[in-house]
Structure 1
């Protein structure tokens, strides 16, 4: 069945049907619902190339990854959720990889000039991120996975990173821990900056002195977690607890604790942030790992939905969400050792 035949069957013009299926804001909600219901019932699937030609839309969302380290398990899970959401509307994802910030900004200018994408997903924002102002100046629709300071409002989805660390420290302090270390990411990124602020503020709220030697930064890898935990344990007054910024760095920290001949959950407690990878389950580790938890795949899926709403005309300031983070206590945390 082609577009003309489908439009005739439901008594609408071909233009109205095409625009309804592409999410144009000028099409009434009830008309779009009618078209989508009829398409599902009659088994109509539009010719994507013809639809894009008729609507003037690219039918694609762009995302740029800067440097090889930016594309790892977190990115692949996020992309899986994003794809699940967008494929329902026949939207493709155009991925570009670059080496520098200048290259990334050039990629956005290229997207805007060529009109190869209808919108962009911006990830890992900095505390004051020049990419946001650039995208606004290019008039290229975008949604940020994270938050940043900006002069004009923009659409975003973030998790409460401050609150996640606050909850973890509250749990550890309630069990008598006073020497709590943090394995964090690069604090030029907002998420890590928020975690650092949460760490410092919550220690102060509990009357615990902050020791800079107990803070480490780096990529969320097993090796980084191992090396940082080794350095913490080598201190004259080593920590009795550690908060790991990801399950990947938590694996390295756990290895370092065992190499040192210490018992996880008894000699040293551990809380990790879990982005919910299907192949790395904290409850299946020994001991099971206490976590703050927020599924990154669900974030990708939600950002896909928000992008479609943005393209349908919703204002960026109405598309701003901050998700609370769950806390799951398991076997890797216990009372501070005497």
Structure 2
């Protein structure tokens, strides 16, 4: 392999690196370089690493317009994500983990946001109709999600963060929210709590129904009472959560435990309880789900259960790539089951 650059490059002339440039520097054939950059399975790991290192060093950027004409692919995977506040608390971590899962592959991540007052079908239709990506990743799935139905009908590669009624037919990664609901209720019950309130995700979401089912089952087994908040969700503004929890506790003085589907919702609940003069760990216990170890730093008395958002993003990246490159294979499916 030669590390010498051309005379024009040495002189500082604006020469755009090409596959031929990489081939000359690596001592490989141009087709081999091309296949290495496209992560072809018949190219060895060391060869791929060498080619990518040279490509990065010389600033090689593939001609995506030409690539699309030749292959029909964009080498883009689009994460379609809502801008709702609670979802946005996970956004940076999810983007980072998906990007990490794509690192070293031929694919790049594009983020397509949509606002709560917009039709969530709009960005998905736009991507598919204009072939702006090779696959999409969705979150906040509903049991009969119209986006999933549309993508299945179109035969367009995708993966979801969450399950649907058609999840046997598509790639997904999900946190087992039914197990979380059960475990959270059991942790509160173990502390002697028998009048538990659940601050859930939006009730039309599949994972909200899973969480309610798990918490309800745990409460029924010991004769405890479970109440689901309907006036707010963990996607609501914190001020609304505080107001709703405050009103609920005032109207239901026997409430002694709260389960939240998010860390921020749990912290808002604690703020409401403390403003009412209730003592955490004595008068009331609160359990929350977190992707970062923050709840017990905020209040040591809190019960925290981990959700592995990093693992989810990495898995979804691999699931989306398989859906593109190996559509005949069974879809990748994963489940994060929380433990004590």
* TM-score normalised according to structure 1 size: 0.82
Which runs of 5 or more structure 2 residues have no equivalent in the other structure? Answer: 1-16
- Are positions 1:218 and 2:233 aligned together? yes
- Are positions 1:298 and 2:314 aligned together? no
Worse-superposed segment, 160-169 or 73-82: 73-82
* Alpha-carbon distance in structure 2 between the residues aligned to 1:267 and 1:290: 15
* Alpha-carbon distance in structure 1 between the residues aligned to 2:339 and 2:239: 26
* Alpha-carbon distance in structure 2 between the residues aligned to 1:52 and 1:316: 28
Figure out how many residues of one structure are paired with residues of the other and give that number.
318
Say if 1:243 and 1:264 are closer, same or farther in 2 by CA, change over 3 A: same
**What's the offset of the Cα at 1:142?**
0.5
* Alpha-carbon distance in structure 2 between the residues aligned to 1:139 and 1:67: 27
**What's the offset of the Cα at 1:198?**
0.8
**What's the offset of the Cα at 1:13?**
4.2
Cross-structure match for 2:91: 75
Cross-structure match for 2:220: 204
**What's the offset of the Cα at 1:268?**
0.5
- Are positions 1:37 and 2:52 aligned together? no
User: SS of the counterpart of 2:104?
Assistant: helix
Say if 1:246 and 1:152 are closer, same or farther in 2 by CA, change over 3 A: closer
Cross-structure match for 2:325: 312
Residues 271-327 of structure 1 show CA distances to partners (whole Å, capped at 9, x for unaligned) of 1111227xxx12321335211111323322332233223333165634000011244
- Are positions 1:322 and 2:335 aligned together? yes
Determine if contact 1:153/1:316 at 8 Å carries over to the other structure: no
* Alpha-carbon distance in structure 1 between the residues aligned to 2:125 and 2:225: 47
Which runs of 5 or more structure 1 residues have no equivalent in the other structure? Answer: 328-338
User: SS of the counterpart of 1:187?
Assistant: coil
Worse-superposed segment, 148-157 or 138-147: 148-157
Say if 1:15 and 1:133 are closer, same or farther in 2 by CA, change over 3 A: farther
**What's the offset of the Cα at 1:5?**
4.5
User: SS of the counterpart of 2:287?
Assistant: strand
RMSD between superposed Cα atoms in Å: 2.8
Cross-structure match for 1:130: 146
**What's the offset of the Cα at 1:76?**
2.7
Say if 1:139 and 1:145 are closer, same or farther in 2 by CA, change over 3 A: same
